[in-house]
Amino acid sequence: MKILAKSATDKDPELTLLEHIEDCLLIWRYLQKCFPNVPNIPSVSISFWETLWLCIVFHDLGKAHREFQKVLRGIKINEWNQQRHELFSLPFFDAYEGIEPEVKKLMWWVIAAHHKDLGMLNKDYLEYYEGAEDYKSEFREVDTEGVRQLLREHYHIEIGEIKPLFPQLKVGDYLRYIKSEGKYRLFDPNYFNLLLLFGGMKHCDHMGSARIKELFYLQNQNFHFLEAQKAKHGYYQHQQECSDTWGNVILTAPTGSGKTESAMLWARKQIEKFGNGRVFFILPYTASINAMYERLGDDDEGMGNTQVGMLHGKLNDYLYNYFEDLQYSLSKKKEAIKNLKDKYKNAVTPVKVVTPFQLVKHLFGLKGFEQGLFEWSGGYFIFDEIHAYDASVIAQIKVLLEFATQYLNVHVLIMTATLPDFLKNTLAESFGQFYEIKASDELYQKFTRHRLILRGGLLRVEPIEEALKAGKKVLVVCNTVKKAQTIYKALKSPKWKSVLLHSAFNGKDRNTHEGNLKAGEKDKENPIKLLVGTQAIEVSLDIDYDIIFTELAPFDALIQRFGRVNRKREKGICEVHVFEESEPNDFYIYPKDVLERTLIVLKTIGNGNEIEEAKLQGFMNEVYPSWSEKQEKEFKERYDMLKDCVENLLRPLIRNSKQTEEEFYKQFDGIKVVPARLVGDFKKLLDEYDFIGAESLKVQIRKKKFAQLKAENDINLLPDKHMIEGEFNKEKLITIDFYIIQKEYTEEYGLDYDEQEILKDDNVFG
């Protein structure tokens, strides 16, 4: 009887053990093309690909247990009792000879832990057996002759006498080792042998199980869009330098001067020099990531949609909206979202557009970190908009860069329009030698495109209205959601198309507003004339306005805001209006001393004068001479904490402590709540099992705001829950807990904290 690896489902037929091994080996062959530099990492001292091949062949042989085969065939009367099949794979590997003992020990652990970490395996499964004899008795149920035949006929492997030793002995060895000083931690000679071998094994098993048939890797044709650009416009000097330079680079160039193309020219050069590796394009905001994903993934003017993936915290909202446009049915939509997310999470796409947290989380040892670190190997990190991070995040990025460049042969490009010298030096320390590339003086002169207009007092509508009546495309940027809502309500008119963008929309409506903005930018006959928003407008939105009116903000934020005006430099010199006075709430968002130094710099530029791009770097150093005392403390605490985690707690085959996991997640400042007027829709979507659609109706609010609302009024936030019937993880009934925020919410304006909206349904708990 053939040995099965997977049972039949509604969609797929049953799968034999041989077929599963071959699926995994197909991924193994692709990994060698996609990650050719793994064996060249200095800390890897084993014959990496040959060793991984053997792990794959042996990893699932324990599925030949007769009771497990009954489970796979749907025979309900069986005595499998939720045992772990990988424990029965181990005696076959023990019987394989000719491997150096130290390497065989690593391979044994990799096979044992390929589904459950060794701590969990020991605690939850090995204790099932009363002792060695009990385990041996169970192993007699394994079809050893069937396995011998599979190994001999298909892989030309002969194994010796099978002596089923109790696995707890070797698992216990590892658990003792990691408690001893330095053993299987960062500086142990076998650390990266074990970590990368396990990461490669998990990739092969996961993608093999998903029956993925192809992994993509970058080739010359994926960069053809760059040559098309060169044929049309040529390259700027800094772009050509990026194209010719191999190694770590810090690039400084004006906003709108083709830094994205510079990055891809640099990536192409690195791949020519060092070989293939995954490219991570790292941005701070989801709006930036969505825009960059669409830009790089374009089949005609980018690298192609098979080559580019993305990961960020609001990916579900983006994909849900994307498939909504294609009019998928709910079941098809859910399947399509799952497939795309799996593709992006796995190593299928050679380019990933991500937040830094999608990389940093692996240094906290969260689930799957070994796969994540494997995917970095020989890779290329591109950081854009790095000015946008606070001291705590910069500290984590510094540890990330130190680890990736020192141990995994990662090369780095950091791009910026204006990066303070102290911050540039802090980051440069992470990777040692680097090349500094700057745009030419001539280019900076050509990129002078703005005239500064300083206005006294607070931001007000009268001058904005004058610009609109004059027919200009007007951008207004406020520091708070409330101010943006107030200005938008005062200015919107049937005379001109208007869009409001800020953080107090739910995912569904935010995507709608961003979609309206994109469509309006393409509509030459009736374009968007008024865009009002908050900091979300500062980043990567491909928009080009005639004039801006903005509240006072830190100098780097203002430069980003100005960059959305006269972006293509086709309008001569355009005015950028800054109101000098700050609202009291602005100081909760931006440090008062930074705003004061920014105002000094603006007055140095002078009211009515052109802003010379070449002088921006010097102005940035005046606004940001160094960390403040508070920032310095935050930086050091976060750096020391993560550095210690990497050196002492990042252990292969073991999940990190819950405390470390909480340390990672607590830095995200947001709680999602359901607006009162959307509760009925939310529960209806839950009843339809449309969990992603339901989640997209929630609005994220800051933790401090959440606490303020609870303290201010008992009815601001109501705890609620909703029961759903169905089969979920063997449970007949599940409970969804959530909070209702009783503040007014509309699709046009978002959440309004000043207006109460009481839930009309008396039965809150549904």
Q: Which of 209, 231, 257 is the last residue of a domain?
A: 209
Identify which of 750, 490, 458 has the alpha carbon closest to the alpha carbon of residue 474.
490
Round to the nearest angstrom and report the end-to-end CA distance of the chain. Answer: 52
Residues 251 and 351 in one domain: yes
How many structural domains is the chain composed of?
Answer: 4
pLDDT value at position 460?
96
pLDDT band at 337 (very low <50, low <70, confident <90, very high): low
On the question of pLDDT at 686 being above 80, the answer is yes
CB 464 within 8 A of CB 474: yes
Residues 154 and 235 in one domain: no
Q: Which of 189, 209, 229 is the last residue of a domain?
A: 209
**In this structure, is residue 641 part of a structural domain?**
no
Average pLDDT score over residue span 231-240: 92
**In this structure, is residue 665 part of a structural domain?**
no
Mean pLDDT of the chain, nearest integer: 90
Buried b (16+ CB within 10 A) or exposed e, 550-561: bbbbbbbbbbbb
Count of Cβ atoms closer than 10 Å to residue 443 Cβ:
17
Q: How far, in Å, CA of 78 to CA of 183, rounded?
A: 41
Burial of 160 (0-12, 13-18, 19+ CB in 10 A): exposed
pLDDT band at 763 (very low <50, low <70, confident <90, very high): very low
Enumerate residues 6+ apart whose C-beta is below 8 A from 637: 395
On the question of pLDDT at 316 being above 80, the answer is no
pLDDT band at 764 (very low <50, low <70, confident <90, very high): very low
Q: Which of 176, 209, 242 is the last residue of a domain?
A: 209
Residues 478 and 601 in one domain: yes
Tell me, what CATH number does 159's domain have?
A: 1.10.3210.30
Residue tagged 């209702």 (tokens): 740
Residues 391 and 459 in one domain: no
Average pLDDT score over residue span 306-319: 71
pLDDT value at position 69?
97
Residues 583 and 515 in one domain: yes
Tell me, what CATH number does 488's domain have?
A: 3.40.50.300
| Tens digit of each residue's pLDDT (9 = 90 or more) over 629-685 | 999 999 999 999 999 999 988 999 997 766 677 777 777 768 899 999 999 999 998
Residues 175 and 83 in one domain: yes
On the question of pLDDT at 221 being above 50, the answer is yes
pLDDT value at position 344?
61
**In this structure, is residue 544 part of a structural domain?**
yes
Residues 118 and 241 in one domain: no
| Tens digit of each residue's pLDDT (9 = 90 or more) over 162-218 | 999 999 999 999 999 888 877 888 999 999 999 999 999 999 999 999 899 999 999
**Crossing angle of the two packed helices 191-209 and 369-376, in degrees rounded to 10:** 100
| Tens digit of each residue's pLDDT (9 = 90 or more) over 66-80 | 999 999 999 999 999
pLDDT band at 343 (very low <50, low <70, confident <90, very high): low
Q: What is the pTM of this model?
A: 0.90
Residues 253 and 387 in one domain: yes
Count of Cβ atoms closer than 10 Å to residue 748 Cβ:
13
**In this structure, is residue 635 part of a structural domain?**
no
Q: Which domain holds residue 575?
A: 449-611
| Tens digit of each residue's pLDDT (9 = 90 or more) over 596-610 | 999 999 999 999 999
CB 414 within 8 A of CB 75: no
Identify which of 308, 306, 304, 270 has the alpha carbon closest to the alpha carbon of residue 289.
308
Residues 227 and 181 in one domain: no
pLDDT value at position 659?
67
Residues 463 and 386 in one domain: no
Query: For the residues of 497-519, what is the DSSP string, one character each?
Result: EEEEE-TTS-HHHHHHHHHHHHH
